[in-house]
Amino acid sequence: MSDQQQLHHAAVRDFVVAIFRANGAVIANGDRLVADLGLTSSLWQVLDALHRSRTRMSVADIARAMGLARQSVQRSADLLAERTLVAYEDNPAHRRAKLVRLTEAGQRALEAVHARETVSIDRVLARLAPTGIEAATRVLTEFADELAHQTRPGDDA
């Protein structure tokens, strides 16, 4: 491997480590923002996925949209249902895969979360340029898309 290739490999490894650190920071910050609302970042993610969706979603749909394991989303959805922040509905397309619906209480909780999130975002924007955030989002999206389409080494040979 050439010196240039080694530098590129090191850059990608550093990028992955930065993603891990950023993910941890996002989750920790999210947990702090919503703790007194009885939520966690993972519960907030499910509420937000439902809010953003233009169609009704099953747990599997939410998991795919968020890039998470169905089982973890199921646990979150069940907790949210216990707290009446979401409700399960029959799914005409699949008898066993219920649809998950944001309730009015869930919508109010999400509005409270978004108000707090706005303050956190304003703090970020005081230090980081929106154009840098937009560029980083494009790179992260392309990177995630590339990884999602890869197979294990040797499987594509």
Task: Give the distance from CA 135 to its chain's centroid.
Answer: 19
Assigned token pair, 24 = 């941890």
Q: What percent of the chain has pLDDT over 70?
A: 98
pLDDT in tens, 127-144: 999 999 999 999 999 999
Give bridge partners of residue 88 from the DSSP assignment. 100
> What pLDDT sits at residue 78?
97
pLDDT in tens, 41-56: 999 999 999 999 988 8
Q: Could you give the strand order of the β-sheet that contains 57-58, starting from the edge strand earlier in sequence?
A: 57-58, 99-102, 86-89
The topology (CATH level 3) of 3-146 is: Arc Repressor Mutant, subunit A (1.10.10)
Res. 150 pLDDT band, cuts 50 70 90: confident
- pTM value? 0.81
- For 69-85, the three-class secondary structure string (H helix, E strand, C coil) is CHHHHHHHHHHHHHCCC
- Asked if 48 contacts 110 with a C-beta cutoff of 8 angstroms, the reply is yes
Q: Where are the domains of the chain?
A: 3-146
Classify strands 57-58 and 86-89 as parallel, antiparallel or unpaired.
unpaired
User: Mean pLDDT for the chain?
Assistant: 92
Q: Give 13's Cβ-side CA count (13 Å radius).
A: 6
Query: For residue 46, which of 83, 87, 76 has the smallest C-alpha distance?
Result: 76
